[in-house]
Structure 1
């Protein structure tokens, strides 16, 4: 539009779509369209995995698929804060926690849902996997390959992060519901991420550390089943605590995808477009159970 400043143009576009990644613009569109359903999304790559050409390509994470349903419907204002590689502990500490706290304070009267994806990166990758795994010895079971004390401390730290998220919700937006998910079973492999026709590549997140510990291949998937199965159990137990009922909802998305299946999995730990859509559907179904005014999933 004539005589628009860059900020005005950006905010006009955000108000039209109902989607933004900027906290200041989210506050603006919430005030401009106060009857819309406010949704804050925060998390890891399951909420933020980039498209094939970063900005272009198929919808390739959970929030992409949800955004496709709600954008430009005049029903939703959504803030996207998720970032690849984020850990639950990091999101609930330091500047990230301060930023989330700030936006909750400023938009408390509008926000009804908080979508959160966290815990997977706290386990996998070079920061955590080497410490969680034991060096393999003859006769070890999958359980023996996991350093129990360290893994249990890691689980406690993840649950504390979720407790802190619930505390923020209680303090600033007590009418909102937090929705999170469990992680499907990723089969360890040598498949890392690739972008721009393979010009940019990443290493896998689990497989190299299993090899470093000399763990035989037949134990790889059972180890992942223990790690992610425990995370699922702990999350469900946290949500079932009486003081957390109606505050935290855990959508069980574990078991939807077929481990190692190329139709479901793009690389070692990230689903394909269709795989992410399978994960997004039950999450969105729960969102509509809580807020029936949301559009139907496509």
Structure 2
């Protein structure tokens, strides 16, 4: 195959793998000696249908087998709830995945969550505060601690499987600093694919709440940068990488260019398909580095 074949349901995954002891299963396992099996689990950056998001752009650059699951708009605790984690650990144990890629945490700092933290400001003419003060209030609310706890709960639940399969790796990614503050989605097929025909929530998801709190969109940009770089990037992902060395790692998007251009973004928080294509290059480079040596050549 020229690129990764991926499915979005466990029924289809089981069909692709074939029953244990079958000729099909034997062929798959032989194929996977030199090609990766990757599970992508996450929010809209992975799971939005009919849209070449980050997971799908990643798959298009890999020769292997992929599974994409998740829920657009879900918070980390919703994705990685106790029952969901238990089911996922069992599925990981039953399938020969090399990598588990996670996309979660951004929605914990948007929309309704912001409305709760900044309820006193919503449309009430309360004196505005600085981006730094707003960030501190959000941090003090426990938003980042909850995201960290959700990730850590999943990683802890994977500990027994890690003992059985020491080559298994978990990868997280940051969200690149947003640029189009307060911009709703441009629902055109050329811009975001066929999902444009189905999508009804067009945003914005940050500025809709923070316009009552901050002085202007420049402060909104500073607030978003603090959330994504300090709160989530350093306070959650890098902290987890230090707590689970050799098991959990973080993609580095620092070298991606064009993120400050309108053309990179579909809306306030989602890149276009072309934007995700740019992100897929360092994303896949990181995946390649995490795979066993025999499988790295399959990743482009």
TM-score of the pair, normalised by structure 2: 0.78
Displacement of 1:130 after TM fit? 1.6
After superposition, give the CA deviation of every residue in 1:236-261 in whole Å (9 maximum; x if it has no partner): 122023xx111100112257355552
Residues in 2 aligned to 1:149 and 1:44: alpha-carbon distance in whole angstroms? 21
Residues in 2 aligned to 1:198 and 1:93: alpha-carbon distance in whole angstroms? 27
Alignment match, 1:117: 103
Residues in 2 aligned to 1:146 and 1:130: alpha-carbon distance in whole angstroms? 14
User: Is 2:88 the partner of 1:93?
Assistant: no
After superposition, give the CA deviation of every residue in 1:17-44 in whole Å (9 maximum; x if it has no partner): 6422222432443452123132111011
8 A contact 1:179–1:248 mirrored in 2:
yes
User: Is 2:58 the partner of 1:66?
Assistant: yes
Displacement of 1:283 after TM fit? 1.5
8 A contact 1:132–1:151 mirrored in 2:
no
Residues in 2 aligned to 1:189 and 1:159: alpha-carbon distance in whole angstroms? 27
3-state SS of 1:140 partner:
coil
Deviates more, 1:117-126 or 1:25-34: 25-34
Residues in 2 aligned to 1:150 and 1:231: alpha-carbon distance in whole angstroms? 10
| 1:226–1:196 Cα change, 3 Å | closer
3-state SS of 1:80 partner:
strand
TM-score of the pair, normalised by structure 1: 0.79
Displacement of 1:61 after TM fit? 0.8
Question: Which structure 2 residues correspond to residues 215-254 of structure 1 after superposition, within 5 A?
Answer: 215-229=215-229, 230-234=231-235, 235-241=237-243, 244-253=244-253
User: Is 2:157 the partner of 1:156?
Assistant: no
3-state SS of 2:39 partner:
strand
Alignment match, 2:8: 21
Alignment match, 1:170: 159
After superposition, give the CA deviation of every residue in 1:162-195 in whole Å (9 maximum; x if it has no partner): 1112123212244210011111111322323525
8 A contact 1:132–1:146 mirrored in 2:
no
User: Is 2:115 the partner of 1:130?
Assistant: yes
Displacement of 1:226 after TM fit? 0.9
- More relative contact order, 1 or 2 (CA 8 Å, 6+ apart): 2
Displacement of 1:214 after TM fit? 5.4
3-state SS of 2:250 partner:
strand
Q: Going by fraction, where is helix more abundant, 1 or 2?
A: 2
Mind listing any 5+ residue stretches in structure 1 that lack a counterpart? Answer: 1-15
Deviates more, 1:112-121 or 1:194-203: 194-203
Displacement of 1:148 after TM fit? 2.7
Displacement of 1:98 after TM fit? 3.5
8 A contact 1:132–1:150 mirrored in 2:
no
3-state SS of 2:106 partner:
coil
Displacement of 1:198 after TM fit? 9.2
Displacement of 1:99 after TM fit? 2.9
Alignment match, 1:12: none
Alignment match, 1:13: none
Residues in 1 aligned to 2:9 and 2:58: alpha-carbon distance in whole angstroms? 18
Aligned-pair Cα RMSD in Å: 2.8
Alignment match, 2:66: 78
Aligned residues: 268
3-state SS of 1:252 partner:
coil
Deviates more, 1:286-295 or 1:110-119: 286-295
Displacement of 1:297 after TM fit? 5.3
8 A contact 1:45–1:84 mirrored in 2:
yes
| 1:268–1:280 Cα change, 3 Å | same
